[in-house]
Amino acid sequence: MTNNIAHTIIAVLLCVAATPARTAAQCTGTPGEDRDGKDNPLVSRYPGSCIYGYQQVEFEEFTLPLGKNVGGKFTKSQHLEGKITNIEYNIPEHRSILEVFRNYQQGLKQGGFETLYTCAAPECTSGDIGNSQPLYDGGGDRWEPPWDDAHLRYLSAKLARAEGDVYVALSVSSGVPDRALLYIIEVKPMESGLVTVDAAALASDITRTGHSAVYGIYFDTGKADIKPESDAALKEITKLLQQDPKLKLYVVGHTDNVGALASNMDLSKRRADAVAKALMTKYQIAAARLNAQGDGPLAPVASNDSEDGRAKNRRVELVKQ
């Protein structure tokens, strides 16, 4: 395999021919592209597999397991953010879990990936997994494969690239039929500047409803440090306050419902404090005009059952005092 292939398109080396039971041509669609999705160019499918489920998001968070599962939680993991492709394959009949797993493992190695962690049941599935969060659905720290049995095998791997590292999370397990669940995480910064905050719009919302949601203030997951790309939103809030010298605001932090209530309440308050502090110290807004509070997940504006909903719930609101 050439260096160009190793650093651009990493095709999994699959050493067996497709079985007559389910060839690529029998999948709905052309080889490499089924009705429900298509292969990622970084990692190919095992021959004869068909796509059962497919999802791709341009920017999301992911918890990569790097250690044994104890009581439904990872003993070690790595938080990632970037473009995530999730493909679930039905693998061919008459091919063992071990055979499919070893072929993926070998192909990733040939493609320049470094194996970070690998495990097999029961190490991968011990503990109370029935009540735990998914591996990927907002970035939980627990392990709950979509199928759970004594044959599950899992690996985490990494490809270092100048344009951004790529991580793979792969689990193969038995079912009807057997399946391979593949996550490809292409690490990259979030595309920012897509949500604009305008002082006039904030004023209009507050006049009509008494409050306004602000989505242009950014934090890393689980942290309360304001990211530099939040400056545009903070400047518009400052304009709002400068245009109406009598206006006083509650600055209220809100979170989604992922994680413990106490942690989310604390996080929302710390984020509100950080916004108020930035307005006071960087933009010279009088402290008497701002009152920071945290409401955690207690006032959602959308369902927390989807990532889009959770994103809407993670916000800062300005409420007229």
Please give the domain boundaries of the chain with CATH numbers for all domains.
Answer: 3-187 (no CATH), 199-320 (3.30.1330.60)
User: pLDDT tens digits, residue range 138-156?
Assistant: 344 444 444 445 678 889 9
Q: Give residue 134's pLDDT.
A: 33
**Range from 77-91, 95-109, 182-196 carrying the lowest mean pLDDT:** 182-196
Range with lowest mean pLDDT among 16-25, 30-39, 52-61, 171-180: 16-25
**CA–CA separation, 231 vs 217, rounded Å?**
8
Query: Would you say residue 14 has pLDDT above 60?
Result: no
Q: What is the pTM of this model?
A: 0.55
CA nearest to 215, candidates 79, 308, 84 = 308
Residue percentage of the chain with pLDDT more than 70: 77
Average the pLDDT over 190-200 and give the result.
70
Lowest mean pLDDT among 35-39, 48-52, 115-119, 249-253: 35-39
Quote the pLDDT of residue 195: 58
3-class SS of residue 214: strand
Specify whether the CB–CB gap between 91 and 104 falls below 8 A.
no
Higher per-residue pLDDT: 197 or 240 = 240
At 124 the pLDDT is: 73
The residue-averaged pLDDT of 31-50 equals 80
**Tokens representing 197?**
């905050």
